[in-house]
């Protein structure tokens, strides 16, 4: 084996040993598209610590980190609100990225224990497309139902008193 081939082999081996499979073949930030029906809902995005990351309107696309710190994946809560509609909450969750398992063959211990856990590339986010259908608020008072009025016995007309029922 000549010197050039030996250097090439050593460099390739070093690159494989000093990298993580998910760091090379995957990402540590993901675009997440957020929609609502109807459009124009206000959204509030918070991370797992409750830190507000974004406030805006739908539709939108945000780039969210899949991990931070050592072996710590990120998760997000998205709260939707719009006048006339019930508030709704949805979640963007973390899952182990399949490329992280590739470290067993290609990345070695450095990829498994250092590179991918530090870069956050060992995690992926789901879903990539988050769509929520907001439910219209229902009024507590229905116009077909008569109002409830509380009266003392003295205020009830004489001709209706015979229909009263004693409640104990």
Give the model confidence (pLDDT) of 5-57 as tens digits: 544 444 444 444 444 444 444 456 779 999 999 999 999 999 988 999 999 99
Element spanning 42, H or E: strand 42-47
Residue 60 CB burial class (10 angstroms; 0-12, 13-18, ≥19): middle
d(CA 101, CA 125): 16
∠ CA 65-94-43, rounded to 5°: 65
What's residue 101's pLDDT?
A: 63
pLDDT digits (tens, 9 = 90+) for 123-149: 778 899 999 999 988 765 555 666 677
* pLDDT-above-70 percentage for the chain: 60
pLDDT for position 96: 67
Q: Which CATH superfamily is domain 3-140 in?
A: Immunoglobulins (2.60.40.10)
**For position 22, what pLDDT does the model report?**
41
pLDDT at residue 145 in the model: 61
Question: What confidence tier does 157 reach under pLDDT thresholds 50, 70, 90?
Answer: confident
- Structural domain boundaries in the chain: 3-140
Residue 141 phi/psi, 5-degree rounding, is: -110, 120
Residue with the bigger pLDDT between 84 and 19: it is 84
Average pLDDT for 91-120:
61
CA 23 to chain centre: 22
How many angstroms separate the Cα of 4 from the Cα of each of 1, 15, 17, 115? 8, 16, 20, 28
- Bridge partners of 63, per DSSP, are 31
Whole-model pTM: value is 0.62
> What mean pLDDT, rounded, does the chain reach?
74
Q: What is the pLDDT of residue 3?
A: 53
**What is the reported pLDDT for 46?**
95
């Amino acid at each position: 084996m000549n010197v050039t081939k030996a250097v090439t082999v050593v460099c390739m081996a070093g690159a494989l040993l000093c990298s993580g499979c998910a760091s090379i073949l995957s990402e540590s930030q993901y675009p997440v598209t957020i929609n609502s029906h109807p459009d124009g809902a206000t959204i509030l995005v918070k991370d797992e610590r409750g830190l507000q990351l974004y406030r805006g309107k739908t539709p939108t696309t945000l780039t969210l980190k899949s991990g931070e710190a050592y072996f710590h994946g990120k998760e997000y809560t998205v709260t939707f609100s719009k006048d006339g509609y019930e508030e709704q909450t949805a979640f963007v969750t973390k899952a182990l990225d399949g490329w992280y398992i590739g470290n067993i063959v290609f990345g070695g211990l450095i990829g498994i224990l250092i590179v991918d856990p530090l870069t956050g590339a060992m995690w992926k986010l789901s879903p990539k497309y988050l769509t929520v259908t907001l439910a219209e608020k229902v009024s507590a008072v229905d116009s077909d139902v008569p109002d409830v009025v509380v009266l003392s016995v003295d205020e009830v007309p004489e001709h209706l008193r015979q229909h009263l029922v004693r409640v104990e």
